[in-house]
Structure 1
């Protein structure tokens, strides 16, 4: 066991209950300025930077909204074995299944690199599979991200930037969960497309979410390092593929609704033409007064 002060092991969990709508978006006790304004308007946070804990409600007001909770623990040390790590951390963090695991370390020195990576791998992947070659290196940090979580190591003794990237992971998970829910519901409705009203309602709600809330890169371009970090995270969570899947399903639903509407209009026209044809026959075979009486009785 080796002492290491600035290392944090955290997990992200879904929450059923949305947080207070009076909580304006903030990170590290500072106003969020890097995010698309439309997303900021429908996002609320509970930011406990001292404890490296964060709750965020995304897409408030939409039925596909998501609330996520990041909590962490700093043991002030590195672990020599996976069993030792589990014994300490799995007791400190919620045992329920999480959406992702995060390891943040600051001021990693070369002699500790190997063990820090091992600790990260044990915590995130429950294996030794994480390798140094998987890390994306920048001047002040290096990070490895996949669908299971993120390991991020800061060079200059601060975790503020890493905390911001935890927020981006939460946003990616919120997007993925919302898109996955839309995809599942569309698939269920498409399996039984007879309920046109339900199909039309879901189509409208899903299309609004996709148009209003989903952004391929929701980060302001002027915040270029964060902009690039999001692109890395987006690829790790395959958000483009998931959004393309939903877009394809929406197109199919649109075709079904258009076809159904055309069939309904065609049926109405056919009935109207049939009645007009019958009226013509009646007018041709009877006197005008008798025809009017018959038509009045027919429509009464």
Structure 2
């Protein structure tokens, strides 16, 4: 039985689709359906834009053909209803994320950014502060360990905040940036949704907790950060670092970022598509 579907997964599964199982793990499996990545995950994992959360994962194997009819997804001897509730991560009012009104402790990155390499770390804050996100993506995209490489996790945190601050006007630039990242197919699919302001639920919980903060970090913010950092081996910690860095340093409007963004890199990335 399906617990819920992310907005991206629902967009694919609400119509007829065909594809294959790309990879299978203990608590998650990744499917490519009509060129789009969808993740079947068990209910212990958080909601996310590409997640279909199931009470029990069906028996899956890499390379297995799968197909959907808009209501059910089937492969081999199993079938799963995929018409459950649709999840979308809420975003706070960006004006509530004013770093001048927040205790510095609320925005402590505290993540092992060094996984990306000592040559990258000193540049990250400078690139975010200047709004040079294409250069940031070129430096960190695809770097580090993990199914979604550590650099992509940090970049995803930055992209969610960039879309929140920039609004719809920032969409074309951020979409092109995410599509141009040199990384894995699965990681690029998650980056595409981060560029639209959507990520796993603990990211949205952290943003909501920061937006609700009075002077001084309350218990709720500390709890939200612990839940985020606990995701994966290092994915949550890198997401937290990207979020904190972007909230504290990123230019706050699309026009500010457009003035800072290097046009040649943007044109190069625009010709590539996710997945």
Whether TM exceeds 0.5 here: the answer is no
Point out the structure with max Rg over C-alpha: 1
TM-score (normalised: structure 2): 0.29
Between structures 1 and 2, the one with greater helix share: 1
